[in-house]
Copies of this chain bind each other. A is one copy, B any other.
Amino acid sequence: MTKVAFIGAGRIGQTIIYSTLLSGAIDKAIVFDIVPDLPQRFKDELMHALASAKINTKILATNSIDEVKDADIVLISAGKPRQANQNRTDVFNDNAKIMIEFAKTLPRNNPKALFIIVTNPVDQMASVFMKYSNRFTISSGAQVENMRLRSFIAERLGVPVDVVDGFAGGEHGEGLSIFWDTVTINNVPFDEAAKGKLTRDEVTNYVKDVAAQVIAVLGGTSWGPATSMRDIIVAVAANENRVMSIAAPIKYKDETLHVSRPTIVGNKIGPSLEKSLSEEDLRLLNAAVDKMYNEYKELTKNLK
């Protein structure tokens, strides 16, 4: 009986919406975008897709933010997409303004919604949204990096991807940390399983560089992140209680920050598995928190 509102139907937004609706896990969807006719024509495409898949999800397509009501989950992908020559901070200013606008309008009509931010830079955008809305907000965080981590190891070691486990966290993007003590292949620690075949550096380089490489050729990432985001929505909608490396809010000094940690995702968000991380992994996480705090203070000092 889950109703999900999708704010933004651009390249990544469309892919998330399509993928989520095709999963069959949600009953009602609201598709909002400011571009006239875009939600309506995209709805046509979705209706044709759902007809083929025999799925009965109801869709409301709208250009009016006032029609975004009574959602269980509000996922915000609206914003300026990251370009090949941009770092995440370049897009901060443009998108923070968009978040603040939505933070003022969306909560009133969606009193019970969980807010999920996937607009980049995802963690800072979630913190901005939460600050200006006073509503519980998460970001998709490093969940897509988890999948990049696991799929690369699987590919290089020649094993099925579902025997590779492990979590990345900290900052989504360039400042990412890999929690190496969580990484196993068939329960064997990475260093032992990968010995002579694959190094930590090769994995780190792939996980940090692959987005830029994809953007250079395809013009943007979409299929990978969108599927991670679909699976976050489905985990909430079906109360899967699955561990994902999303960014849930934490208090740090005088701010509420979003920093990715392995976290239980279900109808409730949390607890995180921070207490189960190794000392070394926890050190990485704590360093990321401090670094992100400083960056966030710097980025937001002129926000009003």
Separation of A151 and B49 alpha carbons in the complex (Å): 9
What 0/1 readout, one digit per residue, does chain A (214-257) give for beta carbons within 8 Å of chain B?
10111001111111101100000111111110000000000000
The residue in chain B whose Cβ has the minimal distance to the Cβ of A42 is B218
Q: Do A162 and B238 contact each other (CB < 8 Å), given the known contacts A112-B186, A218-B41, A224-B44? A: yes
Taking residues whose C-beta sits less than 8 angstroms from the other chain, chain A's interface range is: 35 or more
Q: Are B264 and A160 in contact (CB under 8 A)?
A: no
Q: Select one of B146, B162, B268, B273 contacting A187, CB under 8 A.
A: B268
CB of A163 within 8 Å of the partner chain? yes
CB of A295 within 8 Å of the partner chain? no
B-side contacts of A55, CB under 8 Å = 161
Q: Are B243 and A241 in contact (CB under 8 A)?
A: yes
* Copies held by the complex: 4
Separation of A210 and B43 alpha carbons in the complex (Å): 11
Separation of A44 and B152 alpha carbons in the complex (Å): 9
Q: Are A217 and B47 in contact (CB under 8 A)?
A: no
CB of A155 within 8 Å of the partner chain? yes
Q: Interface stretch among A14-22, A73-81, A101-109, A194-202?
A: A14-22
Q: Are B165 and A54 in contact (CB under 8 A)?
A: no
The residue in chain B whose Cβ has the minimal distance to the Cβ of A230 is B52
Output the least CB separation between A275 and chain B (Å): 5
Q: Do A47 and B186 contact each other (CB < 8 Å), given the known contacts A22-B19, A54-B161, A223-B18? A: no
Q: Are B49 and A227 in contact (CB under 8 A)?
A: yes
In A1-49, which residues have CB < 8 Å from any B CB?
Answer: 1, 14, 18-19, 22, 24, 35, 37-38, 40-42, 44-49
Separation of A223 and B276 alpha carbons in the complex (Å): 34
B-side contacts of A238, CB under 8 Å = 54, 162
B-side contacts of A258, CB under 8 Å = none
Q: Are B14 and A48 in contact (CB under 8 A)?
A: no
Q: Are B210 and A44 in contact (CB under 8 A)?
A: yes
Given A45-B214, A47-B154, A53-B231; 11 other pairs, CB 8 A cutoff: A24-B24, A35-B217, A42-B217, A48-B147, A48-B228, A50-B227, A54-B238, A162-B239, A163-B267, A241-B244, A242-B243
A-B contact pairs, 22 of them (CB 8 A): A22-B227, A37-B217, A38-B218, A41-B217, A42-B218, A45-B223, A46-B223, A47-B155, A47-B161, A49-B147, A49-B223, A49-B224, A49-B228, A50-B227, A51-B146, A52-B227, A54-B239, A56-B160, A163-B267, A164-B267, A243-B264, A271-B276
Task: Spell out A's residues near B (CB within 8 Å).
Answer: 1, 14, 18-19, 22, 24, 35, 37-38, 40-42, 44-56, 112, 143-144, 146-148, 150-152, 154-155, 160-165, 184, 186-187, 210, 213-214, 216-218, 221-228, 230-231, 237-244, 264, 266-268, 271, 273, 275-276
